[in-house]
Amino acid sequence: MLRLLGGQVESLFDLGLAVEVRELPSDLATLDGLLSDAALVAPVERAWEASARSFGRPTIPIDRFVRLMVVKQRSGWGYETLVREVSDSLHLRRFCRIALTERVPDESTVRKLVRRLGPEVIEEITRSVITAATSGERRFVVRAARIDSTVVEADVRYPTDLGLAADATKVLAREATAVSDLAGDGVPRVRDRSRAVNRRLRRLGRTLASRTGQGKPAALRLTGEAGQLVERSVREARRVAGQLRRRARGRRAQAKLAAAQRLDELAERAGKVARQIRQRLAGERITDRLVSMTDPDARPIRKGKLRAPTEFGSVIQLAEVCQNTRRGARGLIVPAASQIGSPNEPDLLPATAAELERLGLRPREVALDGGFFPIGVAENLPHPQRVFIAGRQSAGSRRTNRRLARFRVGIEGRISHLKRRYGLKRSRLKGHHGTKTWTAWAILAYNLDTLAIRTA
């Protein structure tokens, strides 16, 4: 059962508290006013399944959940730390509308609700915040926009062929063991070959450390052996999945089919690891490379940075709309565009332009990175009076071009700000869907802070 709003926060115990304790700090008080609009939780009600709105165990109040997640993104806490800190803080309790006599929701409840809502609902809430800010008496007047892309890293370690082979053999063996009760007697066993792969990994480390000049031949030979071990585990896992399907009759039939599907998915990923190893040994070019068994949507992305030439994750495109182009201008960020893989700047521009059009935002000036092309920009952004692309000739005066160049550079600082302050550097949720959800929460928290600063 869906609960949009919680009950009364004040209780008899609040009368014994000092006035300073009952009053929220200035930043939380401003955020509390922005989040008090009941229209912000309307997207959740629309996205919730109609048959489940008034049936089943009640959810935590959605307004309380949104406030908890805003605190989480602003502080950088994990779910367990979030619950612990909110429980211990009277100010955070009052901000999240949790009475002194109530328990703070369990961290697993918050975590599962994040996954259930997904990025679409949070983006709708962000659109509601932007629409409310750009309308009314003291509205946020959009005059300029700056657009750039960045990488949100996936929560994976640096991938190597031998490391992926060890992960693949371990994951297949673990999943087959978990479904052994469903499969019954007589099902072939999936052997855990991760120890054999790790032995080869340690042997390679010793060979490289000895500096005998045989490092590359040894690496290719040991990697090829690891690939053969992965292929054997894949064959065994597929036999177990086939056995589960054949025995999917009567009781627990759906559970057996679901287990077989999950095992087939993992076997497909492990098979891709083995194919990548074969391609590497043959000297072939590897496209659409798998870099993690647990996050199949993460991809290697080369941005040419000295600190990290290759990053692993997803590319998102951010568009910040501002009231002016002065130094230190802080604007609102529209929901980000994203694709699996390593898209170029122009590939994501149509989605960004559609988002601006959907919100009714038509900036007069647009500043872009040098990776954009004038023809594509003119097709997707037909409304601006002036478009500045870094490193390309512009029709504006020299003074105007310098002003827009300085304004464009500000998006680099904004991206750094989002990564340091709002957790956009690395997504802790798996998959492209998880990255979009993580990004949506970061953008929502940033926009609320921006409006709070403007209101104060």
Q: Residues 234, 301: one domain? A: no
Q: Residues 220, 301: one domain? A: no
Per-residue pLDDT for 413 more than 80? yes
> What pLDDT, on a 0 to 100 scale, did the predictor assign at position 106?
93
CA 132, 133, 135, 137 torsion-angle sign: positive
Q: What average pLDDT does this structure show over 441-449?
A: 96
Predicted confidence (pLDDT) per residue in 278-322, tens digit? 999 998 999 889 999 999 999 999 877 778 888 999 999 999 999
**Rounded to whole angstroms, how far apart are CA atoms 303 and 285?**
19
Q: Residues 451, 360: one domain? A: yes
Per-residue pLDDT for 430 more than 80? yes
Per-residue pLDDT for 230 more than 90? yes
CB atoms within 10 A of CB 236: 19
The domain that contains 354 carries what CATH number? 3.30.420.10
Where would I find the beta strands (DSSP E) of 282-385? 299-302, 310-322, 332-333, 337-339, 365-368
Residue 82: in which H helix or E strand, if any?
Answer: helix 79-88
Q: What average pLDDT does this structure show over 247-262?
A: 88
Share of the chain above pLDDT 90, in %: 61
Read off φ and ψ for residue 339, nearest 5 degrees: -140, 155
Name the residue among 315, 356, 316, 357 with its Cα closest to residue 336.
316
Q: What average pLDDT does this structure show over 252-276?
A: 93
The lowest-confidence range among 181-185, 330-334, 359-363 is 181-185
CB-side neighbour CA atoms (13 Å) of 140: 28
Q: Residues 341, 373: one domain? A: yes
Please check whether residue 355 is in contact with residue 319, taking contact to mean a CB–CB distance below 8 angstroms.
yes
Quickly state the pLDDT bin for 153 (edges 50, 70, 90). very high
The model carries a pTM of: 0.91
Say if 165 falls within a structural domain: yes
Quickly state the pLDDT bin for 169 (edges 50, 70, 90). very high
Q: Residues 199, 243: one domain? A: yes
b/e burial code for range 122-161 (CB count within 10 A of at least 16 → b): bbbbbbbbbebbbeeeeebebebbbbbbbbbbbbbeebeb
Predicted confidence (pLDDT) per residue in 347-399, tens digit? 999 999 999 999 999 999 999 988 888 888 888 887 788 889 888 877 778 89
In total, the chain counts a number of residues equal to 456
**Rounded to whole angstroms, how far apart are CA atoms 450 and 153?**
25
Q: Residues 146, 191: one domain? A: no
Name the residue among 328, 341, 368 with its Cα closest to residue 352.
368
Higher pLDDT residue, 101 or 240? 240
Name the residue among 349, 323, 322 with its Cα closest to residue 336.
349
| DSSP sequence for 163-178 | HHHHHHHHHHHHHHHH
Location of structure tokens 């600190």: 307
Per-residue pLDDT for 123 more than 70? yes
Taking CA 74 as the corner, what is the angle to CA 72 and CA 79, rounded to the nearest 5 degrees? 15
CA 38, 42, 43, 45 torsion-angle sign: positive
Predicted confidence (pLDDT) per residue in 187-214, tens digit? 788 999 999 999 999 988 888 877 777 7
**Rounded to whole angstroms, how far apart are CA atoms 375 and 429?**
36
Write down the mean pLDDT value for the chain.
Answer: 90
> What pLDDT, on a 0 to 100 scale, did the predictor assign at position 12?
65
Q: Residues 184, 261: one domain? A: yes
Say if 124 falls within a structural domain: no
Per-residue pLDDT for 420 more than 80? yes
Q: What average pLDDT does this structure show over 165-171?
A: 95
Say if 417 falls within a structural domain: yes
> What pLDDT, on a 0 to 100 scale, did the predictor assign at position 355?
94
Q: Residues 88, 104: one domain? A: yes
For the chain, the C-alpha Rg in angstroms (whole number) is 26
Name the residue among 119, 64, 148 with its Cα closest to residue 419.
148
Say if 49 falls within a structural domain: yes
Read off φ and ψ for residue 312, nearest 5 degrees: -125, 115
Per-residue pLDDT for 42 more than 70? yes
Domain final residue pick, 235, 253, 282: 282
> What pLDDT, on a 0 to 100 scale, did the predictor assign at position 251?
80
Location of structure tokens 């002016």: 324
Say if 309 falls within a structural domain: yes
Q: Residues 390, 329: one domain? A: yes
Name the residue among 421, 447, 431, 434 with its Cα closest to residue 318.
447
Q: Residues 255, 240: one domain? A: yes
Name the residue among 170, 125, 111 with its Cα closest to residue 429.
111
Name the residue among 282, 388, 379, 300 with its Cα closest to residue 340.
300
* DSSP H helices in 295-430: 345-358, 374-380, 398-421
Say if 415 falls within a structural domain: yes
Q: What average pLDDT does this structure show over 4-17?
A: 72
Predicted confidence (pLDDT) per residue in 56-90, tens digit? 788 888 999 999 999 999 999 999 999 999 999 98
**Rounded to whole angstroms, how far apart are CA atoms 413 and 251?**
58
At 432, is the secondary structure helix, strand, or coil? helix
**Rounded to whole angstroms, how far apart are CA atoms 324 and 321?**
9
Domain count, the chain: 3
Q: Which domain holds residue 278?
A: 161-282
Per-residue pLDDT for 54 more than 70? yes
Structure tokens at 70: 């805003």
Q: Residues 381, 421: one domain? A: yes
